[in-house]
């Protein structure tokens, strides 16, 4: 018996091993922890025939198709034709393993590429080409169909709604199938199409975790299916509208890439790779991220009631507290006094801005800030010039009433005329006002949907605009966090996490966001108290401490604060500027301590800011030391920078040694911090401690 002929791709923390089999396409041998395969017997020789099975060995192919012995989910579905691969070419470089599988009878070629990413993860990209003589209709082309180990234990995923994004869900591995499918035309408020699959004994810091995220901003499905083979199969796909993908001879369909992270360092290890994978997709003006400028966003400060004078005052108040980018939100364009009119008519409202926006933009810049503007390009109000001129430009079912949401309809981004119109409008504003930034909003679900082509239409518009204005940065927003995904991350530079800025609500939400996206693109603002979304009141310190974890902004009118609060806010902004390089330095580590405390460290490996957060009232008299497993490799100077939260008569007091750490760093050994834990004081509900940890060599 000969040994198996293996095809291997190894990351630092994972291995992908396929075996050339007697059939055309290689079969899976391993996808998981880093291994050295050595010599292995062939899979077919290891597996004796099972009862009630097809003759021959039908192990799982690298690109499994249905019909001839694979009973798990098939990667492809063509209308009216089966796909059977009869040959497969393999190309291997240091970073890529590429399989080109061909069905010569049906004229179908599928190239599947596994690419190692610099950030430690893996990208899987599939391209299907019609090499035949007739057109083919594609009903499904999965981005990946992957084996998940039989000792997988749990799926962590996120769901959400407007104002309640990223609600974490934990479920045991299914006995049949687990499906997360979105049908709203957007990823939705539960974040991107993705999940974490945890093996045995997986926590934040150790154990084998597999994270997936489809780089796609439309309807998508992630399926995790068990069958009687004894392992699970994950399949990720963009949903295609019936009959929308017809490939003429020679044409190709590119499935959106799947980003994959596999780490034995638990959820944090997989999250680090996921951050790396997304960072690789972000295309920064100038080629590299510059320090993130502190925003002021006008929305919750003034909503729709503004004009040149009012916004001028807001800009002055913003500049006075250290704001670096001023974003004029909804309400600036023709006829927009409420949410019932104006979308589509992207020219300044003559009543509010009789001189156009240029004088305002100049004023903002003369105050030392960049100028950003809100648009909702893919939408139209029926009360607008655009709709009156082109009622046929919306997504619709012929001869049926269209459901509106927030009084608006969705433009059909599949139509070149729509994209051209929007490009012309946006380009004109960018050119005449010379804006630095667009907040690109999208405030409703698609009903009816526009399929994958709607998403591709939006991507094409974004791409064209960015090519014409390479210095422009763009924020992806969809009623808060309805469009947060690695697909649109290729065109954008920030996500608006949620319209809910309540800091208590933001703690778990931001941790969910970080499962898929790095902190430098997480829009996090200091809002007013009480919160406009929840009605809850929180101290300015707590609101600011939580907002400091992402890309900081302010969403209130600083002029409406009393002098003490305003200067305190300015102090927080200065604090964030001092530490933003550390906060966005690369590495994010999440953890949970006892009695409801959560912690979060962000830094570059040798310099960290550490947040210790209590949302609710604690039950224990003493806060227990917090083991920090990431801290084992060095000794550390630990300084308490901030104690953000309420100080009442009956709130816990800080001991003198902790108080001393506010003035001077205390040196701890790495093994003490990792094994015994950082001693922390008891804190009241709605409090955060922010420490600086500096590695000592
Ligand atoms: C959405 C956004 C908000 C704001 C409003 C404006 O709800 O999430 O931040 O821009 O639209 O209408």
pLDDT means over runs of 10, the chain (697 residues)? 95 98 95 97 92 90 92 94 95 98 97 98 98 97 98 98 98 98 97 98 97 98 94 98 96 98 98 98 98 98 97 98 98 97 98 97 98 98 98 95 96 98 97 95 97 98 98 98 98 98 98 98 98 97 98 98 98 98 96 97 96 96 96 96 87 86 96 98 95 95
Q: To test the ligand 1 pocket, which listed residue (162, 295, 299) has its Cβ within 8 A of the most ligand atoms?
A: 299
402 CA from centroid of ligand 1 (Å)? 22
Q: How far apart are the C-alpha atoms of 314 and 327, rounded to whole Å?
A: 11
β-bridge partners, 522: 495
Q: What are the helix (H) ranges across 21-67?
A: 43-46
Q: How far apart are the C-alpha atoms of 458 and 477, rounded to whole Å?
A: 13
Q: Is the CB of 74 under 6 A from ligand 1?
A: no
What confidence score (pLDDT) does residue 605 get? 92
Q: How far apart are the C-alpha atoms of 605 and 633, rounded to whole Å?
A: 10
What confidence score (pLDDT) does residue 647 get? 79
What confidence score (pLDDT) does residue 650 get? 80
List the residue whose alpha carbon is closest to atom 2 of ligand 1. 479
List the residue whose alpha carbon is closest to atom 6 of ligand 1. 330
Cis? peptide before 505, omega within 30° of 0: no
Q: Is the CB of 299 under 6 A from ligand 1?
A: yes
Q: How far apart are the C-alpha atoms of 44 and 65, rounded to whole Å?
A: 19
> Is 219 among the catalytic positions?
no
451 CA from centroid of ligand 1 (Å)? 24
Q: Is the CB of 527 under 6 A from ligand 1?
A: no
> Is 362 among the catalytic positions?
no
Query: Which of 345, 499, 541, 557 is labelled catalytic?
Result: 499
447 CA from centroid of ligand 1 (Å)? 20
Q: Is the CB of 478 under 6 A from ligand 1?
A: no
Q: Is the CB of 550 under 6 A from ligand 1?
A: no
479 CA from centroid of ligand 1 (Å)? 6
What confidence score (pLDDT) does residue 26 get? 98
441 CA from centroid of ligand 1 (Å)? 7
Query: Which of 61, 345, 441, 485 is labelled catalytic?
Result: 441
Q: Is the CB of 332 under 6 A from ligand 1?
A: no
Residue 403 burial by Cβ neighbours in a 10 Å radius (0-12, 13-18, 19+): exposed
pTM above 0.95, yes or no: yes
Question: Closest ligand 1 atom to the C-alpha of 339?
Answer: 12
558 CA from centroid of ligand 1 (Å)? 20
Q: To test the ligand 1 pocket, which listed residue (186, 499, 524) has its Cβ within 8 A of the most ligand atoms?
A: 499
Long-range contacts of 83-88 (CB under 8 A, 24+ apart): 83/108, 83/110, 85/24, 85/25, 85/61, 85/110, 86/24, 87/24, 88/24, 88/25, 88/26
Question: Closest ligand 1 atom to the C-alpha of 479?
Answer: 8
Q: To test the ligand 1 pocket, which listed residue (301, 328, 329, 440) has its Cβ within 8 A of the most ligand atoms?
A: 329
Long-range contacts of 29-35 (CB under 8 A, 24+ apart): 29/4, 31/146, 31/147, 31/148, 31/262, 32/149, 32/208, 32/210, 32/262, 33/208, 33/262, 33/264, 34/10, 34/264
Q: Is the CB of 476 under 6 A from ligand 1?
A: no
What string of H, E and C letters represents the secondary structure of 126-162? EEEEECCCCCEEEEEECCEEEEECCCCCEEEEEEEEC
126 CA from centroid of ligand 1 (Å)? 35
Q: Is the CB of 443 under 6 A from ligand 1?
A: yes
492, 252 Cβ separation under 8 angstroms? no
Q: To test the ligand 1 pocket, which listed residue (330, 442, 556) has its Cβ within 8 A of the most ligand atoms?
A: 330
330 CA from centroid of ligand 1 (Å)? 7
Q: Is the CB of 165 under 6 A from ligand 1?
A: no
427 CA from centroid of ligand 1 (Å)? 22
Q: Is the CB of 190 under 6 A from ligand 1?
A: no
Q: Could you tell me whether strands 370-375 and 437-440 are parallel, antiparallel, or unpaired per DSSP bridges?
A: parallel
516 CA from centroid of ligand 1 (Å)? 22
The owner of tokens 């001879």 is 249
What confidence score (pLDDT) does residue 530 get? 98
580 CA from centroid of ligand 1 (Å)? 26
Q: To test the ligand 1 pocket, which listed residue (441, 445, 498, 553) has its Cβ within 8 A of the most ligand atoms?
A: 441
Q: Is the CB of 330 under 6 A from ligand 1?
A: yes
Q: Is the CB of 459 under 6 A from ligand 1?
A: no
Residues 6+ apart with CB under 8 A from 364: 315, 326, 370, 371
Q: Could you tell me whether strands 494-496 and 473-476 are parallel, antiparallel, or unpaired per DSSP bridges?
A: parallel
What confidence score (pLDDT) does residue 626 get? 98
Question: Closest ligand 1 atom to the C-alpha of 478?
Answer: 8
Measured torsion, CA atoms of residues 266, 269, 275, 277, in degrees rounded to the nearest 10: -100
Q: Is the CB of 480 under 6 A from ligand 1?
A: yes
List the residue whose alpha carbon is closest to atom 12 of ligand 1. 330
List the residue whose alpha carbon is closest to atom 4 of ligand 1. 299
- Tokens representing 337? 């006094």
What confidence score (pLDDT) does residue 480 get? 98
């Amino acid at each position: 018996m000969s040994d198996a002929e293996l095809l291997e791709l190894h990351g630092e923390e994972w291995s992908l091993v396929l075996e050339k089999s007697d059939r055309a396409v290689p079969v899976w041998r391993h996808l998981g922890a880093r291994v050295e395969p050595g010599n292995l017997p062939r899979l077919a020789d290891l597996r004796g025939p099972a009862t009630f099975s097809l003759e021959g060995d039908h192990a799982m192919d690298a690109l499994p198709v249905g019909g001839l012995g694979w009973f798990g989910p098939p990667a492809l579905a063509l209308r009216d034709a089966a796909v059977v691969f009869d040959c497969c070419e393999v190309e291997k470089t240091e970073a890529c393993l590429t399989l080109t599988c061909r069905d010569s009878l049906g004229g179908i070629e599928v190239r599947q590429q596994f690419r190692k990413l610099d950030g430690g993860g893996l990208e899987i990209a599939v391209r299907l080409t019609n090499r035949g003589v007739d057109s083919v209709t594609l009903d499904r082309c999965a981005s990946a169909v992957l084996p998940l180990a039989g000792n997988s234990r749990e799926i962590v995923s996120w769901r959400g709604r407007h104002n309640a994004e990223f609600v974490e869900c934990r479920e045991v591995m299914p006995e049949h199938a687990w499906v997360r499918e979105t049908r709203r035309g957007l990823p939705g408020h539960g974040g991107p199409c993705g999940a974490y699959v945890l093996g045995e004994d997986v926590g934040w810091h150790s154990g084998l975790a597999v994270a997936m995220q489809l780089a796609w901003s439309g309807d998508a499905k992630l399926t995790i299916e068990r069958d009687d083979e004894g392992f699970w199969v994950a399949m990720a796909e963009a949903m295609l509208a019936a009959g929308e993908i017809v490939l003429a001879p020679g044409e190709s369909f590119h499935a959106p890439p799947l980003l994959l992270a596999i780490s034995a360092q638990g959820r944090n290890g997989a999250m680090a790779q996921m951050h790396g994978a997304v960072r690789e997709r972000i295309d920064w003006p100038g080629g590299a991220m510059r320090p993130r400028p502190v925003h002021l966003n006008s929305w919750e400060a003034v909503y729709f009631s503004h004009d040149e004078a009012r916004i001028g005052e807001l800009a002055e108040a913003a500049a006075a507290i250290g704001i670096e980018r001023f974003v004029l939100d909804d309400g600036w364009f023709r006829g927009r006094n409420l949410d019932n009119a104006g979308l589509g008519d992207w020219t300044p409202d003559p009543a509010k801005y009789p001189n156009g926006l240029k004088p305002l933009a100049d004023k903002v810049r003369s105050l030392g800030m960049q100028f950003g503007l809100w648009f909702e390009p893919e939408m139209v109000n029926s009360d607008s010039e655009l709709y009156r001129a082109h009622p046929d430009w919306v997504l619709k079912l012929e001869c049926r009433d269209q459901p509106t949401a927030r009084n608006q309809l969705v433009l059909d981004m599949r139509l070149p005329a729509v994209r051209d119109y929007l490009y012309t409008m946006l380009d004109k504003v960018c050119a005449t006002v010379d804006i630095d930034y667009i907040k690109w909003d999208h405030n409703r679900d698609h009903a009816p949907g526009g399929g994958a082509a709607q998403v591709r239409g939006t991507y094409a518009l974004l791409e064209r605009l960015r090519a014409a204005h390479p210095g422009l940065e763009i924020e992806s927003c969809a009623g808060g966090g309805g469009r947060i995904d690695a697909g649109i991350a290729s065109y954008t530079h920030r996500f608006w996490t949620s319209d809910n800025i309540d800091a208590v609500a933001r703690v778990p939400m931001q941790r969910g966001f970080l499962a898929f996206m790095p902190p430098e693109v997480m829009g996090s603002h200091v809002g007013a108290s009480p919160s406009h979304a929840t009605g809850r009141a929180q101290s300015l310190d707590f609101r600011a401490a939580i907002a400091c974890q992402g890309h900081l902004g302010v969403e209130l009118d600083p002029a409406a604060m009393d002098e003490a609060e305003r200067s305190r806010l300015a102090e927080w902004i200065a604090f964030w500027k001092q530490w933003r390089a550390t906060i966005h330095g690369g590495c994010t580590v999440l953890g949970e301590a006892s009695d409801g405390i959560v912690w979060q460290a962000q830094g570059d490996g040798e310099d960290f800011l550490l947040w210790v957060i209590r949302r609710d009232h604690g039950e224990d008299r003493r806060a227990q030391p917090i083991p920090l497993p990431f801290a084992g490799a060095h000794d550390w100077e630990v300084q308490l920078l901030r104690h953000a939260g309420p100080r009442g008569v009956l709130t816990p007091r800080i001991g003198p040694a902790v108080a001393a750490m506010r003035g001077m760093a205390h040196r701890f050994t790495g093994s003490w911090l990792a094994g015994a834990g950082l001693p922390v004081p008891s804190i009241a509900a709605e409090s955060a401690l922010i420490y600086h940890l500096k590695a000592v060599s």
